[in-house]
Amino acid sequence: MTVVHLPKSAVLSSYARHLMTKQQEKEAKSARGFGSDDSSKTAKSTVGPVDDSSSLKAGQDITIPQLEDYCDDFTADIKNKLATLTLSHETYSEALNNREVYLKHPPVFSHKLEIDAPITNQRNSGRCWIFAGLNMLRQHMMKEYNLDELELSQPFVFFYDKLEKSNWFLENILKTLDEDLDGRVVQFLLTNPVQVGGQWDMFVALVEKYGIVPKEAYPETVHTSSSGQMDWLITTKLREYAKEIRAEHANGKSIDELRKMKDRMLREIHKVVSVSLGQPPKTIDWSFYSKDKKFHEFRDVTPLEFYRNHVKQDCTKFVSLINDPRNEYMKKYTVDYLGNVYGAESVHYINLSVQRLKDYAIRVLKAGRPVWFGCDVGKFLSRSHGMMDTKVIDYKSAFDFDFGMTKAERLQYGDSLMTHAMVLTGVHIEDGKAVRWRVENSYGESYGNKGYLTMTDRWFDEFVYQIVLEKSDLPKEVLDVLDQEAVVLPPWDPMGALAK
């Protein structure tokens, strides 16, 4: 806790102010131009009414007397001047860095994956969910082929995601033709037609349909690394297409005729993505040197063959576990209208307590395997120290207040949701309990601790919402939940948030 020693004069002034009688306070306020009956009359056009006891009434507007009272309270505490001088030149995360937290939690872990794969960089794009998925999958390949480094092509998955999401949007427009344009569902669909970001099951749908290739077979372009302009163009065209489809429906066009229109529209979207990113390869040649300097080569391999025969992990055998304390645990959930590939398995989750998520994740990490997870990354994050902790930014010392909402309440009141996906690659355990977690991010090596973050266990409790594990890592009682009929959450539910 920061201790500020006030000058003696400031202490006496504050103490004297505290001891003022009601009459003295009334007289003092009157001298400043408000509070007495006479002054309230003269200032009638600019201030709200003040009662005879001079206490300020709470009302709809902010009154001048209120504002002056706020200012007096602010200037009476010299600590506020110190905070102002500091925070006018520094961000909260830098100026209020809690040194005790990152000294207590060094980037050292009792259990860490054997392989440290090169850190990747999604740059200015909403592709973290793709990066996290491919970064998780490459660990097995690096062991299998004895590699020092390997990066799988995020642009390849990204290309098909843009095309599939465009189709997904247009199909949902066809599905809602008879709903009111101003209704909540249609307006929700129009808010983000191209759906920047994604979730695990959306990643699975893409790799199962199109496969995977190495990064060198389909590298970055300007518009994969900074996708804003392309996203804007696709978004604008999709909204225009939605208008055309609804108008032609109103004119009596059949669903078959409307789908012919959709085909023309998707052809245009395909052109946008192909021009911006380049067309993905149909086959690839993969050659490399292993750690023992041996040369390896595989020729004329399709992306699906590369996924099946070289990645060698079946993504359909993984399951998403969420921690949503608003809703009942040991239940299966889905979100209406959430997805990207028509015909793929729907997005679904098993809702469990956060302790279960942690227990299962620890077992997998101890077994030497990484864990994909989704969280609200911007909350209580020190970028310079690569630390995520609920106390790492000391807001209390600067502003003299704490935060009072629970995890469930933050979800209910729109203060938190999943915003980012990363990979757990280690955990530090003391006395049988997790203390901190090692996180592989996709923001480049200059971010955090050479690209890695340290997440404390209490931060996990509050801001981790989803982990992905193989079904074989879960007990039967959890797997049996998958046989339930899913509870359908509305499209705007925070569990449907897309990691970016």
Task: Give per-residue pLDDT as tens, 431-472.
Answer: 999 999 999 999 999 999 999 999 999 999 999 999 999 999
Spatial distance between the Cα atoms of 263 and 491, rounded to a whole number of angstroms: 26
Q: What is the pLDDT of residue 34?
A: 35
Mean pLDDT along residues 225-247: 98
Q: Give the number of other CB atoms < 10 A from CB of residue 471.
A: 12
Mean pLDDT along residues 224-229: 97
**Is the pLDDT confidence value at 317 over 60?**
yes
Q: What is the pLDDT of residue 51?
A: 47
Q: What is the pLDDT of the chain when averaged over all its residues? A: 91
Q: What is the pLDDT of residue 30?
A: 41
Q: What is the pLDDT of residue 55?
A: 54
Higher pLDDT, 115 or 48: 115
Mean pLDDT along residues 237-247: 98
What's the pLDDT band for 11 if we cut at 50, 70, 90? very low
pLDDT in tens, 263-295: 999 999 999 999 999 999 999 999 999 999 999
Q: Which of 36-50, 114-128, 219-233, 322-336 has the least mean pLDDT? A: 36-50
What's the pLDDT band for 361 if we cut at 50, 70, 90? very high
What phi, psi does 132 have (nearest 5°)? Answer: -65, -40
Q: What is the pLDDT of residue 185?
A: 98
Residue 117: which of 146, 139, 84 has the closest Cα? 139
Ramachandran region of residue 414, left (φ > 0), alpha (ψ -120 to 50) or beta?
Answer: left
Q: Would you please indicate which residues are annotated as catalytic (active-site) residues?
A: 128, 420, 441
**Is the pLDDT confidence value at 52 over 70?**
no
Mean pLDDT along residues 350-376: 98
Mean pLDDT along residues 105-117: 97
**Is the pLDDT confidence value at 83 over 90?**
yes
pLDDT in tens, 288-316: 999 999 999 999 999 999 999 999 999 99
Q: What is the pLDDT of residue 347?
A: 98
What's the pLDDT band for 56 if we cut at 50, 70, 90? low
**Is the pLDDT confidence value at 31 over 90?**
no
Q: Which of 49-63, 224-238, 315-329, 394-408 has the least mean pLDDT? A: 49-63
Q: What is the pLDDT of residue 59?
A: 86
With vertex at residue 484, the alpha carbon angle to CA 483 and CA 486, rounded to the nearest 5 degrees, is 120
Q: What is the pLDDT of residue 9?
A: 39
**Is the pLDDT confidence value at 241 over 60?**
yes
**Is the pLDDT confidence value at 169 over 90?**
yes
**Is the pLDDT confidence value at 54 over 60?**
no
- CB-count burial class (<10 Å; 0-12, 13-18, 19+) for 418: buried
Q: What is the pLDDT of residue 27?
A: 42
Q: What is the pLDDT of residue 447?
A: 95
Mean pLDDT along residues 163-187: 98
Q: Are 426 and 438 in contact (CB under 8 A)?
A: yes
What's the pLDDT band for 44 if we cut at 50, 70, 90? very low
Q: What is the pLDDT of residue 358?
A: 98
**Is the pLDDT confidence value at 23 over 50?**
no
Mean pLDDT along residues 10-39: 39
Q: pLDDT over 70 for what percent of the chain?
A: 89
Q: What is the pLDDT of residue 103?
A: 96
